[in-house]
Amino acid sequence: MTEQVIAAIDGSQFAEGVCDYAAWASLALEAPLTLVHIVDNHAGAPEAQDLSGSLRFGAREKLMEELSALDEQRARVNREQGKLMLEAASARAVEGGVSAPTLRQLNGTLVETLVALEKEMRLLVVGKRGETDHQASGHLGAHLERMVREMHRPILMVPRAFKRPEQVLIAFDGSKTAKKGIEMLARSPLFVGVTCHVLIVGSYTAEHRSELAWALGTLRDAGHHVQGEVRAGEVDDVLQAYEQENAIDLLVMGAYGHSRIRHLLVGSTTTTMLRNSRIPVLILR
């Protein structure tokens, strides 16, 4: 089975960004694009109240029938809305240069359904927040946190508006799995022609300098333009400062290892960097 770029399309304000970044990745990776809309008929449904103590049997039976009919109507509306969203996303992707994206509408909960698609997936593209997540500024939905923990494919989390990446920052901790990430990026056609920055957050030690030299050399040998630094400080603060100073368009981080970068992603401070990021974040597993 050919691995695909899979984009999770919903009715949120991030849907256009998801579509545009997915089209870019599909073309760069020369991988088919599949646009997926997941219908979760229980998401956002009001909590049912137990009215059995205050209703006669006949009235209660009628109420349950009416609620069942409403559920069916809501499910039908959700499916129709999803089909319209997929058609609009497909037209946008074709406009972006993708030929014949596949459209799929699936029933189930978001994370479990996407996990079931992992074997077909080369890259998953999702919005920073989904349509059912809290819309307050800076909030990162629990769905994305669960994806980071449970999925084993790269996840590209994107903002609302697309900008073709030209300056990519790789947060590197020198671990064995982080080195595998560098080697994977070196081989990937996704970042051909862009400048790859490698940043180690930590003390300026001989070990860190050696690790940085290895990462830059690996990327350079693969034909990438590279630059990098070792900087001390708090991970999120250092990464954000480097992003601003170097006009970074996309951040690559790994949900691996045992460093402070791992704890940023899968520890108690998971949302800090992702929540504050105004650029796409590619999470490697």
Q: What percent of the chain has pLDDT over 70?
A: 80
Over residues 2-12, the pLDDT tens digits come to: 799 999 998 88
**Model confidence pTM above 0.85:** no
Q: How far is CA 191 from CA 91, 122, 268, in A?
A: 25, 15, 31
Over residues 53-62, the pLDDT tens digits come to: 556 666 767 7
Confidence of residue 46 (pLDDT cuts 50, 70, 90): very low
Where does the chain hold its CATH 3.40.50.620 domain(s)?
A: 4-43+78-158, 167-284
Can you give the pLDDT at residue 42?
Answer: 63
Can you give the pLDDT at residue 24?
Answer: 97
Mean pLDDT of the chain: 83
Of 46 and 163, the one with more pLDDT: 163
CATH code for the part of the protein at 167-284 = 3.40.50.620
Fold of 4-43+78-158: Rossmann fold (3.40.50)
